[in-house]
Amino acid sequence: MTGVRLSVILPTVGRTSLGRALASCKDAFEVLVDHNHDRDRGYAARERMIARATGTHLCFLDDDDVYTQNAIGLFTEAACDVPVIFRMRYHHGGAELWQREEVMFGNVGTPMFLVPNDPERLGHWHPWEGSDSGGDCSFITGCVEKMGAPVWRTEIVCVVKPA
């Protein structure tokens, strides 16, 4: 896809790791940062930033995570008209998500997503049914319902909470 412009959506609670997170997405078209005063795991902040994003595609990062060195290039290359779900790695123990190609609570996470910036077809950030977390699963489920089945990619694009 030509003309891809990535908007990185990055809520923060003011962690000292924010600088490292920002440095990892320096090659994106734009990086939107919003302080999460809402005490809702960043859901409202993400919704506010999505409304302001001007890129063709959206990707997401938390202020205590980092993109891998080649993540922005992978996002740009993979951009299409449906959601793309990459993999992420937890720094402790090296566990990775996704485990299987299935959108489900516990199998997907915020920094794995790349979606077209099409407000009419985006999901919304809110807790997963019966939980106080899982907004990432709620969001991507909504996107898949409106945009179609995701493309699954095996490349790791994020390290979660690196040491």
| CATH number, position 100 | 3.90.550.10
Residue 95 has pLDDT above 90, yes or no: no
What mean pLDDT value characterizes the chain? 95
Instruction: Read off the pLDDT of residues 16-61 as tens digits, 9 standing for 90 and up.
Output: 999 999 999 999 999 999 998 888 999 999 999 999 999 999 999 9
Residue 128 has pLDDT above 80, yes or no: yes
Residue 14 lies in a domain: yes
Residue 100 has pLDDT above 80, yes or no: yes
Residue 91 lies in a domain: yes
Contacts with 29 (C-beta within 8 Å, 6 or more apart), sequence order: 5, 6, 7, 54, 55
In terms of DSSP H, where are the helices of the chain?
A: 18-23, 43-52, 71-78, 135-147
Residue 93 has pLDDT above 90, yes or no: no
pLDDT at 77: 97
Residue 103 lies in a domain: yes
pLDDT at 92: 77
pLDDT category at 149 given cuts 50, 70, 90 is very high
N-term to C-term CA, the chain: 35
Residue 1 lies in a domain: no
pLDDT at 11: 97
Of the candidates 53, 82, 91, the one whose C-alpha atom is nearest the C-alpha of residue 143 is 82
Residue 73 lies in a domain: yes
pLDDT category at 156 given cuts 50, 70, 90 is very high
Contact of 12 with 35, CB cutoff 8 Å: yes
- The tally of domains found in the chain comes to 1
Residue 97 lies in a domain: yes
pLDDT at 130: 83
Residue 48 lies in a domain: yes
129 or 138, higher pLDDT: 138
Mean pLDDT for the stretch of residues 57-78 = 97
| Residue ranges with strand state E in 16-110 | 30-35, 57-60, 66-67, 84-90, 96-97
Task: Report whether the peptide linkage leading into residue 98 is cis, meaning its omega lies within 30 degrees of zero.
Answer: yes
Residue 118 lies in a domain: yes
Instruction: Provide the domain limits for residue 54.
Output: 6-160
Contact of 42 with 36, CB cutoff 8 Å: yes
